[in-house]
Amino acid sequence: MIQQWDVIVIGAGPGGLAAATSARKNGAKKVLIIERESVVGGVLNQCIHDGFGLIRYKKQLSGPEYAALAKLEAIESGVEIRTGLMVVNITQTHEIQAIGPNGIEFFSAKAIVLATGCRERTRGAIMTPGSRPAGVFTAGVAQNLINIRNIMVGKRIVIVGSGDIGLIMARRLSLEGAKVLCVVELLTEPCGLARNISQCLYDYNIPLYLGYIVTNIIGKRRVEGIEISAVDKNKQIIPNTNKKIECDTVIFSVGLIPENEIALSAGVTLNVSNGIKTDEYLQSNISGVFSCGNCRSVMDLADFVSEQGSVAGKNAAFFIHQKKLEQWQNKTNTIFKKGLPEKNSFTCSFCPRGCQINIKDGDINGNKCKRGKLFVEQEMKDPKRILTTTVKVLSGSTPLVGVRSNRPISLSNVMNIINILKTKQVTAPIHFGEVLFANCAGVDFIAENEVSVKNE
């Protein structure tokens, strides 16, 4: 039997959730999201750190919190969601085949939105030489193992790549008790936001080697070390600059590639970066097939992905009602400070803008809002951070729940509190926003996501 829908959205990350909500709000009656994982949210579910949602929800949210709000919006607007169902084929006439627990299912839609996200580049993709021992991961896989499955990846770790994902993992691994020996970057400037350099590397005294490449991975069964070498401005290895670093784990965070196998099955045209090529209305070369998010073009911020998803979903609804489509306005050229923080400056972390604030003759300069002044005053007295981590769950559908402190805590007290939280466990069910530990060393810890009771 073919299941008929107005709009089908493939993928329930922030792009797909926003697209489906917007399609419903703009006149599509029957809107379905198909998601291959058992939960919606996409990459957001494993990003337990905060830093999401400032633009869309005007709040500092963690990834799971952002996903929960986007899911609620979709459900409240009347979107239907099927999880555990993987789309394997689409056609130019909008037929969709998906595989799930009930075998193959067939769908048909008047319009489709592709929101299938991206995957990570591996050591192979950047042709890193060396042996192939255990202990080599991509950052997203390591993040998933640690934050969702409760599996620690190593003890002495080198991270390759200084984008935001690599930096955030450097901090996360340090909080989990690993020694992050360094972050190695091929370029002469780090790629991530200044606020992440400051709060993920400087806070934890993690060295950053700029202008270095991995020239060997050493180890038989498990990684025993890596060799790195300096490169010149043409990225050519400079002879006799190699140095060995003993470690048991290497984590590659060296870029993302749009995931578009099913788009290709319908003959959708891709661009040179493997992303879906669209016009200004986010429509692909196939009429009625739209796209948004990282499968179209990799984007830094979930907020921008959602904003683009909203336009793609609206246009899918307009397409089926033959209304004039809306142009997507690229708002992603941001003023957020990237790269190394300026010398003798504080990098404000109230928002991703990362104002570089300095003090001259007793005056505070460089802040774009009042909060910047408060940030610097606090940094000079007693630096404070929101702490996000995980806690073990008994009888839960997942072994961990993400938790966050309800207010910033002293940086000097972070590891003490982490060690207290490591001794704790909570029993499912756990509800989003529930206070799990009240007054734990002076702060409350709140659940970032729902955990249901495990079905035996």
Ligand X SMILES: Cc1cc2nc3c(=O)[nH]c(=O)nc-3n(C[C@H](O)[C@H](O)[C@H](O)COP(=O)(O)OP(=O)(O)OC[C@H]3O[C@@H](n4cnc5c(N)ncnc54)[C@H](O)[C@@H]3O)c2cc1C
For residue 177, the number of C-alpha atoms closer than 13 Å in the C-beta half-sphere is 13
Number of Cβ within a 10 Å radius of residue 199? 23
Interacting stretch for ligand X, rule CB under 6 A, among 42-50, 128-136, 199-207, 232-240? 42-50
User: CB under 6 A: which stretch of 37-45, 271-279, 334-342, 430-438 binds ligand X?
Assistant: 37-45
The residue among 94, 137, 253 whose CA lies nearest residue 185 is 253
In terms of CB distance, is 56 or 110 closer to ligand X?
Answer: 56
CB nearer ligand X, residue 16 or residue 64: 16
Our finding on whether 303 is near ligand X (CB under 6 A) is: yes
> Between residues 7 and 426, which has the closer beta carbon with respect to ligand X?
7
Site for ligand X in 142-181 (CB under 6 A): 143, 164-165, 168
CB of 316 to ligand X, least distance (A): 15
Stretch that binds ligand X, among 110-118, 273-281, 319-327, 429-437 (CB under 6 A): 110-118
Q: With binding defined as CB under 6 A, does residue 5 bind ligand X? A: no
Among 262, 317, 357, 387, binds ligand X (CB under 6 A): 262
Q: From CA 146, how far away is CA 404, in angstroms rounded?
A: 16
Strand-strand pairing, 249-252 and 156-160: parallel
Question: Does 42 interact with ligand X (rule: CB under 6 A)?
Answer: yes
Task: Please identify, among the stretches 109-117, 331-339, 363-371, 380-388, the one whose residues bind ligand X according to the rule CB under 6 A.
Answer: 109-117
Site for ligand X, residues 272 to 301, rule: CB under 6 A: 293-294, 299, 301
Of 6, 9, 11, 316, the one binding ligand X by CB under 6 A: 11
- Site membership for ligand X, residue 183 (CB under 6 A): no
Q: Which of 175, 174, 183 is nearest to 253 (CA)?
A: 183
- Choose one: 34-42, 103-111, 322-330, 419-427; the region binding ligand X (CB under 6 A): 34-42
At its nearest, how many Å lie between ligand X and the CB of residue 435?
Answer: 24
Q: Does 69 bind ligand X (CB under 6 A)?
A: no
Distance separating alpha carbons of residues 101 and 89, to the nearest angstrom: 17
CA distance 155 to 201: 17
Contact region with ligand X (CB under 6 A), list: 46-54, 127-135, 215-223, 336-344: 46-54
Kindly determine how many residues on this chain lie close enough to bind ligand X according to the rule CB under 6 A. Answer: 36
| Residue 16 binds ligand X (CB under 6 A) | yes
Binding residues for ligand X restricted to 415-454, rule: CB under 6 A? none
Q: Which is nearer to ligand X, 52 or 437 (CB)?
A: 52
Q: What CA–CA distance (Å, rounded) separates 182 from 52? A: 26
Other Cβ atoms less than 10 A from the Cβ of 134: the count is 13
Which of 13, 161, 211, 225 touches ligand X by CB under 6 A? 13
Q: Which of 23, 31, 44, 436 binds ligand X (CB under 6 A)?
A: 44
Q: Does 270 bind ligand X (CB under 6 A)?
A: no
Shorter beta-carbon distance to ligand X: residue 86 or 340: 86
- Contact with ligand X (CB under 6 A) among 9, 14, 226, 337: 14
Measured from the CB atom, is 16 or 219 closer to ligand X? 16
- List interacting residues with ligand X (CB under 6 A): 10-16, 34-37, 42-44, 47, 51-52, 86-87, 115-117, 140, 143, 164-165, 168, 259, 262, 293-294, 299, 301-303, 305
